[in-house]
Structure 1
Amino acid sequence: MLIANTDFPRLDGTRCLVMGGGGFLGVHLANALIRQGAVVRAFGRSLANPNELDERVHWSCGHFEDPAAVAEAARGQEIVFHLLSGSVPGHPGQKPTSDLETSVLGTLRLLDICNVAAVRRIVFASSGGTVYGPTDRYPIPEAAPTDPMSAYGVGKLAIEKYLALYHHLYGLEYFALRIANAYGPLQSPLKRQGVVAAMLDHALAGKPLEIWGTGEIVRDFVHIDDVVSAFLLAATYDGPHRVMNVGSGTGLSINQVASDIEAIAGTGHLERIYRAGRAADVPVNILDISLITRETPWQPQCAWHDGLRSTARWMAARQSARLV
């Protein structure tokens, strides 16, 4: 699904560390880096899909809160992809102090470690879905005001600011990608930010679809292959910009997502359970992707229905495997 490898600069022999390499984005990214010729180490607490990680990726099991383990993983690396986060967006029981201690302070320790290890560049997975907050301008450009409504969004924005500070003080190169709602194969249906995965899992099992609020909130959904291709380009981008949005540039209501999933799954209309809306959910979030498409060869390649079909096929196979 990725755009042709010839559109990316080769990373032959480049030593890359993927922090959070055991997760949804991490596994996809580590495998793509290997295909581009990089020497890849993936770091995380656990490997959600061990059979999906390329055997050439060196797996390091460790906790982000353990500086010694992080320092060992970062030793000798040239590029660090920072995908770790201490919370998920929209969690009703969010604790800002915990998010600060885990995500922000953990990242500051990582930045200090990267300085000591002479890491050349950090590519950070920020959040286009949460750093902006409510706005009356759509799609949302990178220059829009940032007023996050969740501890998750505040943490992502704080990390962007610290990356800029470390670049100013120490010359540490960085690039932050503000990602929309990513979806695709390998995404867990059990995590709160994976609405597509959660709905597909329920639809394929014939269960009711759970929706927070009225279902009329609008989100920007981007396939995981398109997200990964943006990270590959960010590894060597040398232009003037440090922060870019990554999304589809279009929006879908959650009710429309539910209808599309019913059609793809072939279930007909399923019962929908509407839960109370969440305080962190802005009414509309659609990202302006004109900057990244102008500055790099990147374009979203995977159409919504095509991506949904491929994800449904993967999830159906996964459910069948459980029954064997």
Structure 2
Amino acid sequence: MKALVTGGAGFIGSHLAEALAAKGITVHVIDNLSTGNSQYVPDGAIWHQVDIISKEAEQLILRERPDIVFHQAAQVDVQRSVADPGYDASINIAGTANILQACAKASVKKVVYASSCAVYGDLNVSLIDENHPAQPISFYGISKWAPELYLQVFHQLYGLKYTILRYANVYGPRQTPKGEGGVVAIFFDRIKRGLPLNIFGDGEQTRDFVYVKDVVSANLAAIERGDRQIIHVGTSVPTSINELVFMLRKIHHEKFSVVYTHERAGDIKHSCLNHAKAVSLLNWKPLYDLFQGLYETYQLSKDESV
């Protein structure tokens, strides 16, 4: 099997490329290094420094004709999407359309698309399932939802198979300390530098934090399962930011301060994904609870090469 991972030098993509290569799968990586790191591309993977919005990306897919494409590349900073929605759309929407068009031309067997819980906006429900309506409240949420519609139409027009994985808040080693989804990385970075943790609002906003290794296993499960489905990848366990800080204090041991400030535009108050569909269709469930994942991330973050 031959796989291509867009964003394969980035946070989730590099872990996925590593897991695919470990299975003996031929792995090609597309990454323009706007946020990725070439050191994260695993040994054995073939790295192409190419932008997903470029003609070169299309030509690469047509030349290599991968069996499966894992589309991880994206602009993921919510606040940047608010400040520059055009840039956000150019990558997440136009870039995805470019990749999908190439996949259709190259007769790629399947695309696994990394979507986001941000498509739901602030639904104010305790546990979100896949039947809840998409009501994004940020341009980032819109830009992650639109490619889902593109995938459905590409299937209707060209028979392109797909699985859409809507991620909860992913965390783990290699995550950069930027973007709302990277709150764990932001906090670890500030702890390391002896800076206070900034919490926007009262800290009672909740998130579903899912470890990157569990996200990778869901992607691997989607190779053979979940065709034409939208599936949540999360823990189904809500955690407040205040609870997250409590766990970090237990892990770090040394004191650090916390500063509460105003809420930010585009931020969601509560988000937790029901993963029952993933259990039934992908035969997947998360293996890491939050404390385990945080502890492993903390230990590995001491080594900048992870």
What TM bracket, shorter-length normalisation? Answer: over 0.9
Compared with structure 1, are the counterparts of its residues 53 and 121 closer, same or farther at alpha carbon in structure 2 (3 Å cutoff)? same
Preserved CA contact (<8 Å) 2:9 2:40: no
Output the CA distance in 2 between the equivalents of 1:100 and 1:183.
Answer: 24
Q: Deviations over 1:282-307 (max 9, x none)?
A: 21101000111112221100111111
1:118 aligns with 2:97: no
Provide Cα deviations, 1:29-49, integer angstroms capped at 9, x if missing partner. 001011122110011012844
Matched with 1:145 is 133
In 1, are the aligned partners of 2:226 and 2:282 still within 8 Å (CA)? Answer: no
Letter in 1 for 2:285: Q
Query: Identical aligned pairs, as a percentage?
Result: 34
Q: Residues 133 and 48 from structure 1, CA distance in 2 versus in 1: closer, same or farther, beyond 3 angstroms?
A: closer
Structure 2 gap segments, 5+ residues each = none
Cα RMSD between the aligned structures? 1.8
- Name the aligned partner's letter for residue 112 of structure 2: V
Distance 1:91 1:256, change over 3 A: farther
1:233 to 191, 204, 221: 221
Q: Secondary structure at the match of 2:137?
A: coil
CA 74–261 in structure 1, closer or farther in 2 if over 3 Å, else same:
farther
Structure 1 gap segments, 5+ residues each: 1-13
Equivalent of 1:294, from 254, 267, 280?
A: 280
Contact kept? 2:121, 2:136, Cα under 8 Å: yes
In the superposition, relative to structure 1, how do residues 44 and 101 fare at CA in structure 2: closer, same or farther (>3 Å)?
Answer: same
Number of residue pairs aligned between Structure 1 and Structure 2:
303
Q: Where does residue 107 of structure 1 map in the other structure?
A: 96
2:78–2:179: 8 Å Cα contact kept in structure 1? no
Say which of 150, 158, 161 aligns to 2:146: 158
Deviation at 1:194, TM superposition (A): 0.8
TM-score of the superposed pair, with normalisation by structure 1: 0.88
Instruction: Please list the CA deviations of residues 74-125 of structure 1 after superposition, one character each: whole Å capped at 9, or x if unmatched.
Output: 5321111111113422447432232222221221121111111111111000
CA distance in 2, matches of 1:182, 1:148: 18
Distance across 1 between alignment mates of 2:166 and 2:81: 22
- Tell me, what secondary structure is at the counterpart of 1:131? helix
Sort the Cα spacing of 1:92 and 1:98 in 2 relative to 1 into closer, same or farther, 3 A.
Answer: closer
The answer to whether the 8 Å contact 1:92/1:278 transfers is no
Taking the aligned partners of 1:118 and 1:245, their CA distance within structure 2 comes to 26
Q: CA deviation at 1:311?
A: 0.4
1:169 aligns with 2:157: yes
1:250 matched to 2:265? The reply is no
Checking the alignment, whether the CA contact within 8 Å between 1:222 and 1:248 is kept in structure 2 is: yes
How far apart are 1:73 and its partner, in Å?
4.2
Once residues 49 and 268 of structure 2 are traced to their aligned partners in structure 1, the CA distance between those partners, rounded to angstroms, is 36
The Cα of 1:281 is off from its aligned counterpart by 1.4
Deviation at 1:227, TM superposition (A): 0.2
Distance 1:57 1:98 in 2: 29
Secondary structure at the residue paired with 1:287? coil
**Corresponding letter in the other structure for 2:127:** P
**AA paired with 1:104?**
I
TM-score normalised by structure 2 residue count: 0.93
* C-alpha distance in 2 between matches for 1:169 and 1:59: 31
Q: 1:141 to 1:190 in 2, by over 3 A?
A: closer
Matches within 5 A, 1:1-324: 14-46=1-33, 48-75=36-63, 76-91=65-80, 93-128=82-117, 130-237=118-225, 242-268=229-255, 270-318=256-304
Of the structure 1 ranges 69-78 and 176-185, higher mean CA displacement relative to structure 2 is found in: 69-78
